[in-house]
Structure 1
Amino acid sequence: MTNTPPAPETQVADAAPDNWVDTMAPAATRPYLRLSRADRPIGTWLLLLPCWWGLTLAMLYDQSARWEDAWIAIGCGIGAWLMRGAGCTWNDITDRNIDGQVARTRSRPIPSGQVTVRGAVIWMCVQALLAFGILLTFHPAAILLGVLALVPVAIYPFAKRFTWWPQVFLGLAFNWGALLAWTAHRGQLDAPAVLLYAAGIAWTLYYDTIYAHQDIEDDALIGVKSTARLFGANTPQWLRRFLVATVGLMGLAVIFAGTEQASVLALVAALAGPWAMGWHLAWQLRGLDIESPEKCMILFRANRDTGFIPLIFFVGALLV
């Protein structure tokens, strides 16, 4: 535990210059909000969107919509913000020595001295407890799943130390909401949710491999593993495989969810979601330049829109 006093206020390197944390938040809260990545909201979207996929697909599965579904959607939104913050805080606590050796991450609050490790631990616990309070309002089966989600969250920061595939562990953690939201609506876990979860993992492998190419040189120097380092120049070929897996698995999830009760029109509308998502991923692939960290960041952030595409079609399928 370090007793290093906080350093002068420093914006995190990969945050947008005009983000709300650095322009609007009270000065005393900024280091902690940066620790939670509140200045970089893309991660919250990537955690939240699989939740909304799971909820809307569950509604399609049993052709029912209840008032409590609105709370599930809102609760997932608040919970995603809190748990993304808690998870990122945990990640920065465990990676504080590594982050100080990487150009893009050395400005983060712990290695730059803005927040002490003790302060980070307290902040992590506060966020996790608030998220747990929201989780307790869901179905008991969903509560159990929410508690189990802590396992991949806890393991992920260490994965890059022992496997070339840490993005798999990120996918396991970031797409858990597909299982949780489905179960919150249905009261049980069914096969379509598992297929949707697998599709989300493939999607995470796609976008986080692009993201990891920003740090490939520093990671090589300090011995941190990633799929970006593993694939190297073969990254485009691997991304095509992840694209196909994402679209195929999500398509199967839709078919299993929609064949029993949904109309043919609703099923076709829902299937258009993974199809359109695949085209957006293909667009990213055409613009990929693994030698350009700036381009990699732009494409990574574009995955918020990628994740919204199937959601729009799933909602549309509920309305036809």
Structure 2
Amino acid sequence: MALVVIGTAGCSAGSDEPAPQSSSVSATTHAPTAAPPVPQSSDGIDIERIEYLGPADADPAENWANLYLPAGDHEDGSVPLVTIVHGGGWESRAGAEQFDEMARDLAGRGLAVYNVEYRRVGTGGGWPTTFHDVARALDHVPTMAETHPQLSIDDELVIGHSAGAQLAVWVGTRHRLEDDEVGSRPAFVPSRVVSISGPLDMRYAVNHGNGRVIKQILGGTPEQVPGRYASVDPIQNLDPQLPVILFHGLADDDVNPDNSRHYTAAVRAAGGTAELHLVDGETHTSLVHRQSPAYQQIIERLTAVARAELEKLRDE
């Protein structure tokens, strides 16, 4: 797959965008005591709350997801499931609610969307809790499909933005981990992943603008905790059978676009499929907002990827 560059007009981050992932912003230490309300359903879209951990393991304020469903009756296994993992530097300053718009836009195109919240630094997360939470959220998918038989989970897409992109790509390859590693022996593995503005080369990112947040979530530098980086750094955990589609704004000052370039090159060198979209004029967060000139193109590509046959994606 050749490099794709989508030309757009400049779009700066606005006040309604997710908090930018910046190594100069400190994580809040004020954890919420309850989960936010379930978003209101709208015409054609039903929304319900999912609790993916049992009471003994869960923090009710953090271990939940919102499931967006196309309204009406559907045949069993007919509605493709998409999972969204939000970013925010693995910190509590940003949450799943920032992706309500994208979830609604995808559900409006006939997809089910599982928008996951998890514990982050400042809300009980960090190493290894954050990674356990996201792994368990994905492992809950088969159980969720039992109670929602319209879901099609055989070829699930996981989308991640920023730190969530690292988590999304990681959950797509954790079946290759050793049994004693965090997140190993998954009950469910997605078949395709989309990374938006992701730090997918964590050893590079720790020295190029993201050092504070990466050292914070992993508990040290690559030299201090090499095993942790080896377990969760996407570029160190390649699966040539997993198609990965990447979007990265060329005006991203928070996560260097070279992260996506490095990861794409590594996947292709390993014989896998990586489709890279470098987007002119877009910042770290602008790509995931309706105001972006590229947003509708991204939504259309996400929809197509969610519905595509796996072998076709691998051959592109």
TM-score (norm 2): 0.32
**Structure with the higher helix share, 1 or 2:** 1
Task: Give the greater-gyration-radius structure (CA).
Answer: 1
Question: Larger % of strand: which?
Answer: 2
